[in-house]
Amino acid sequence: MLVVFTYDFPHKKSHDGILKLIYSGFTPDLVIGAPFRDLGNKSSPLLRVAPQGLRYPSSAELCKYFGIRYEVTSHDTLQLSNRLNDLNPELGIILGARILKECIISNFQIGIINMHPGCLPHNRGLDNLKWAIFDQLPQAVSTHLIDSKIDLGELMEICTVPVFEDDSFIDISMRTQNYELESLISVMHKLRNREFKTYSLRVGKYNKIMDHKNEGIVKEKFDWYKRQYSSIRETYVETNPELPWVNFEN
């Protein structure tokens, strides 16, 4: 049984991920949409990395169209844990979720897959695109089986994301989301064929939302970062050969 976690409101990754799974032959058995929650973050970033004004069908609309069972509930409740315990699902996928607790994770036979937009374990947390520039790390996607700690667990594969000299922040962000879904399907095929190994993530740098001062530094470094990107990417890959690298550019 395949269970997918999404948001119960229009959300690009939820929308694109459901369609990508269906198209690739991995139609979910159940989609669980978490309702909107006000996180109380009133600050506005100086550097915007997401496009504005786009419209998407919600997860509920997609699931109705494709005949997929859809339920609305918060992702951190005892009610959901009991529900999953009864279902005994094999695998979960995060397309939109807050932090999942151990009582939810432990209900899955294989585990829950997350696609993280940064180099794990060195770029955990939030604002990964910006922190990669700040810390001179490549843009990347790390696909892993989660545990109860944020952006740790078992790394299944990692790939770097191309960066071009005429890129905007939004270009890089959109390209990274595309690579997240490529990696998801790659991992799903590996699971189906039992052809995967994992790398244990136990420590790493955790980043919070970037403040305006550091955003200013990132803005100043951006053009330099793009010019030096090939070297930054090559150096990181060479110094971390133990990670399960894949390449989607060929």
Could you state, in chain order, the average pLDDT of each consecutive group of 10 residues for the chain (250 residues)?
Answer: 95 96 98 85 82 92 97 92 94 93 95 97 96 98 95 96 98 98 97 88 93 97 98 98 92
Predicted confidence at residue 210, as pLDDT, reads 96
What is the gyration radius of the CA atoms in the chain, in angstroms? 18
Domain ranges of the chain: 2-37+47-239
Q: Are the C-beta atoms of residues 17 and 27 closer than 8 Å to each other?
A: no
pLDDT of residue 194: 84
> At what angle are helices 229-239 and 212-227 packed, to 10 degrees?
90
The per-residue pLDDT for 135 is 98
At 203 the pLDDT is 87
DSSP assignment letter at 107: T
CA distances from 228 to 5, 142, 143, 219, 236 (A): 37, 22, 25, 15, 13
CB 129 within 8 A of CB 39: no
Between β-strands 153-160 and 199-201, what pairing exists: parallel, antiparallel or unpaired?
Answer: antiparallel
Q: What is the pLDDT of residue 39?
A: 67
Multiple choice CATH, 2-37+47-239, 2.60.200.20, 1.20.1740.10, 3.40.50.170, 3.20.20.70: 3.40.50.170
